[in-house]
Amino acid sequence: MSTDDLHKAIALTLVKNVGPVISKNLISYCGGLDAIFLEKKSRLLKIPHINVKIYDQLNSKEILKRAEKEIAFIERHKIQTYYFLSNDYPARLKHFPDAPILLYFKGSPVINHRRTLAIVGTRKITQNGRAICESIIKDLVNYDVCVFSGLAYGVDTHAHKNCVHMQIPTIGVLGHGLDLLYPSENIKLAKKMVQNGGILTEFLSGTKPEAMHFPQRNRVVAMLSDAVLVVESGESGGSMITADFAFQYNKDVFAIPGHPDDAMSKGCNLLIKQNKASLVENVEDIAKSLSWTLEKESKQKAQMSLSFEFTEEESQVMNLLKGRKAIELDSIHYRTSYPLSRLSSILLNLEFKGIIKTLPGKKYILS
């Protein structure tokens, strides 16, 4: 992404009452970032949700000056930016209309890891919660997973710390800019995470960790994860918001059950009771639900697949099914855009080769 495009993209995120959905509409209607800031008033005002106040902001020199300041900060601290139309934008976010148009990242290149899991929970973690976190993360080592969380007190921090200890890549999604770290007690932890994972945010430098920012942070955690595990939680709070986002986004949600009288298990029990989350007790339960195989099994399957040659279309379908539980035919059709007649032929060939299996309800899964 050129510096000029980055300048305009940052400026666009500074416009009040223009979120990701409206921003993407603006870019689409105008044909690019530059065009937004050059477009005539009469034409801009014809675009849905664009009014005079938004037009005035787009023509304000203040947001462009602020964007220049942010670019200087990015360059000074060697921060990577992900623009939603760039090839390196996180693949899991591309399908969501409300995904941020711009993200800021400090760390190593693991954001598109083949398997991702969010581990979230209460800030008031119990001794039992600590033990569960440690056990889960210890067993994740064999599954080649990148763990996402919010770098908050409690379960988030404990999950990140254990990932660092077990050398599992882990990314903390922040509710503020990269010029600070909240809570400050996690500064040393964040520096270690950058070596094998990192810290990610949609907020500019200078953005404070205000309450209204954390639900935005939680939605990004849900988007980036193949599944969300709630370790401990009360009936409300950030982890419940993340779980709700994941449920809305058709992601798998898992919860560790607890005693009915345990305040920090009430949220998990509620998610299970409402059929928003599957009851799990260990990594094996999660792996079975997501069709994850152990690394040794994966290598054996990879060696078997080398005896076949795959077309580009077959490879795309296989990549779509990797690390996922069963996917319906309609979903594969939507994500690949292949005609149904052609897609049926591709799936049949893969089934003959023993690469995929057909399940009831026109669902498919890797063998």
Tens digit of each residue's pLDDT (9 = 90 or more) over 81-117: 999 999 899 999 988 999 999 999 999 989 999 999 9
Spans of the chain below 50 pLDDT: 296-298, 300, 303-304
Place of tokens 């080649």: 144
Q: What is the longest distance spanned by two Cα atoms in the chain?
A: 62
Query: In whole angstroms, what is the distance from residue 326 CA to residue 332 CA?
Result: 10
Exposure string of 41-65, with b = 16+ CB inside 10 Å and e = fewer, is: eeebeebeebeeebbebbeeeebbe
pLDDT computed for residue 118 by the predictor:
98
Rounded-to-integer distance, Cα 195 and Cα 169, Å: 9
Both structure tokens of 43:
């034409």
pLDDT for res 300: 45
Distance CA 37, CA 315 (A): 41
What CATH topology corresponds to 116-290?
A: Rossmann fold (3.40.50)
Do the Cβ atoms of 236 and 267 come closer than 8 Å? yes
In this predicted structure, what is the pLDDT of residue 308?
65
pLDDT the model gives residue 295: 60
Q: Give the C-alpha separation, 173 to 149, whole Å.
A: 6
Fold observed for domain 3-78: DNA polymerase; domain 1 (1.10.150)
Pairing of strands 252-255, 278-279: parallel
Q: What residue ranges of the chain are covered by domains with CATH 1.10.10.10?
A: 295-366
Location of each CATH 3.40.50.450 domain in the chain: 116-290
Q: How many CA within 13 A on the CB side of residue 295? A: 8
pLDDT of the residue at 140: 94
Class of domain 295-366: mainly alpha
Residue 199 in 3-state DSSP? strand
| Residues in contact with 28: Cβ distance below 8 Å, sequence separation at least 6, in sequence order | none
Give the CA distances from residue 180 to residues 177, 185, 187, 199, 236, in Å, rounded to whole numbers and listed in that order. 6, 11, 9, 11, 27
Q: What is the pLDDT of residue 307?
A: 53
Angle separating helix axes 238-248 and 266-273, nearest 10 degrees: 20
- Ranges for all domains in the chain classified under CATH 1.10.150: 3-78
The dihedral through the CA atoms of 48, 241, 251, 360 has a sign that is: negative
The pLDDT assigned to 310 comes to 80
Residue 251 CB-half CA count within 13 A? 29
